[in-house]
DNA sequence: CTTACGGCCTGGGTGC
DNA sequence: TGCACCCAGGCCGTAA
């Protein structure tokens, strides 16, 4: 499942292969994950790839104008859950579920493969990038401690939901959210507004450390993730919480638990990441004393 | 406005 | 052997 470290790894590989290359032709198979396939077929051939960069979980290819006077374009690729963007020799056989083939002027092909097609691809003038990237939040590796803490402390939602919300932080997914919360010893159901300055500092460093270590390991390969050369990552070997239900916590040996938070499986250590106290309501004390009142129970 | 939740998209893996 | 079911991330609609 490509998140920030996986996308960063792909982008670094593409940076070594693509800038300066001209796109000669476009071939498409299934197109339901492309905003407007006809635009790709019409406008992509003839463009030169000037730069490759990452914005959150988006891969952005900055393209030069196809002809004099034409607009500069940007090609956005989101890998979704199972997307792969890999450079092949043109004669390499197409792998199953490969739906986009971009022929390059060096005899190679940039191909997009996506089993589930939960990814997204779109091409538009560079000046209109904001329609895709505009609502995205802070880059967790570029944000300052102050920006990071302010963004989370201002919200009452579960911290798990906030870390996953691309409008708050761009690039975090389920794996690195759980790994970061485990490192910072914060339960996924804590509320952003209830985190202490100390916890926010710990979380800031946990997020940056986890992401940087994962990038160094070239990402986590759980099911389908590979980089731009088709190679798997290794960070899945270093997971401490994610997908470890029932296995012992690396710190305290307590079995890792799995609960659903923000609609997502959330793995955590019930000892290191203690369950938040129930939120107090104005009447809670009185209600608890008046035994004839059944207190409003919150879902567990 | 914010937050929570359920449904939808797809198809590989799992378990019966 | 076949087949129903679960689940993943992002997005959207709805309700409180």
The model's pLDDT over A78-132, given as tens digits with 9 standing for 90+, comes to: 999 889 999 999 999 999 899 999 999 999 999 999 998 999 999 999 888 888 8
Distance CA A87, CA A19 (A): 13
**CA-angle at A17, arms to A4 and A36, nearest 5°:** 65
Average pLDDT over residues A20-44: 93
Question: CA A162 to CA A175: how far, in whole Å?
Answer: 14
Chain C, protein-covered positions (CB within 7 A):
7-11
Look at residue A66 and tell me whether its pLDDT is greater than 60. yes
- From the alpha carbon of A172, which nucleotide's C1' atom is closest? C9
pLDDT in tens, A212-253: 999 998 877 877 788 888 878 888 777 888 888 888 999 999
Find the catalytic residue in A3, A6, A8, A199. A3
Annotated domain spans of chain A: 4-133, 145-268
Q: What is the mean pLDDT of residues A125-143?
A: 89
Strand B contact at CB of residue A263, distance < 7 A: yes
Q: Indicate yes or no: strand B within 7 A of the C-beta of A300.
A: no
Length of chain A in terms of residues written: 300
- A227 CA, B2 C1': Å apart: 38
Cβ of A26 near strand B (under 7 Å)? The reply is: no
Q: Please state, in angstroms and rounded to a whole number, the distance separating the CA atoms of residues A280 and A190.
A: 14
Say how far A118 CA is from C15 C1', in Å. 27
Which of the nucleotides lies closest to A162 (Cα–C1')?
B3
Domain A145-268 has CATH 1.10.8.50: yes
Tell me which of A185, A264, A270, A287 is the catalytic residue: A264
Q: Has residue A149 got a pLDDT over 90?
A: yes
A264 is catalytic: yes
Residue A192 CA distance to nucleotide C4 C1' (Å):
40
Q: Which residue is nearest to nucleotide B5 (CA to C1')?
A: A263
User: Between β-strands A58-63 and A49-55, what pairing exists: parallel, antiparallel or unpaired?
Assistant: antiparallel
Alpha helices in chain A (DSSP H): 4-17, 37-43, 130-133, 145-153, 159-164, 174-184, 197-216, 284-289
- The yes/no answer on whether domain A4-133 falls in CATH 3.40.30.10 is no
Q: Which residues contact A219 (CB under 8 A, 6 or more apart)?
A: A2, A5, A6, A8, A9, A225, A227, A233, A235
Mind listing the pLDDT tens digit for each residue in A272-298? 999 887 654 444 443 343 333 333 333
Structure tokens at A68: 């004099």
Q: List A73's β-bridge partners, or say none.
A: A63, A125
Catalytic residue among A21, A57, A111, A218: A57
- A3 as an active site residue: the answer is yes
Q: What is the C-alpha separation between A274 and A184, in angstroms, rounded?
A: 12
User: Could you tell me the distance in Å between the CA of residue A135 and the C1' of nucleotide B1?
Assistant: 17
Which nt is closest to the CA of A79, judged by C1'?
C9
Shortest CA–C1' contact from A298: which nucleotide? B4
Instruction: Say if CB A227 and CB A218 are below 8 A apart.
Output: yes
**pLDDT for the residue A274:** 92
């Amino acid at each position: 499942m490509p998140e920030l470290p996986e996308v960063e790894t792909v982008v670094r590989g593409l940076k070594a292969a693509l800038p300066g290359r001209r796109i000669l032709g476009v071939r498409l198979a299934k197109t339901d994950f492309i905003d407007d396939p006809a635009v790709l077929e019409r406008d992509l051939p003839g463009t030169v790839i000037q730069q490759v960069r990452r914005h959150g979980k988006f891969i952005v290819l900055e393209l030069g104008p196809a002809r004099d006077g034409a607009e500069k374009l940007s090609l956005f690729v989101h890998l979704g859950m199972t997307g792969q963007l890999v450079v092949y020799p043109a004669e390499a056989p197409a792998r199953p579920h490969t739906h986009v083939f971009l022929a390059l002027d060096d005899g190679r092909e940039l191909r997009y493969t996506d089993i589930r097609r939960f990814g997204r691809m779109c091409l538009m003038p560079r000046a209109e990038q904001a329609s895709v990237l505009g609502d995205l939040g802070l880059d967790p590796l570029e944000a300052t401690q102050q920006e990071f803490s302010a963004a989370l402390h201002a919200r009452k939602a579960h911290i798990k939901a906030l870390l996953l919300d691309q409008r708050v932080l761009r690039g975090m997914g389920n794996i690195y959210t759980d790994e970061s919360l485990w490192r910072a010893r914060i339960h996924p159901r804590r509320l952003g507004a209830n985190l202490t300055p100390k916890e926010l500092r710990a979380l800031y460093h946990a997020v940056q450390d986890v992401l940087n270590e994962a990038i160094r390991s070239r990402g986590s390969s759980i099911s389908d993730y590979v980089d731009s050369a088709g190679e798997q990552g290794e960070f899945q070997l270093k997971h401490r919480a994610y997908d470890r239900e029932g296995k012992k916590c690396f710190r305290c040996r307590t079995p890792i638990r799995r609960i659903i938070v923000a609609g997502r499986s959330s793995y955590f250590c019930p000892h290191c990441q203690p369950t938040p106290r129930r939120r107090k309501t104005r009447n809670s004390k009185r209600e608890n004393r008046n035994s004839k009142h059944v207190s409003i129970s919150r879902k567990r």
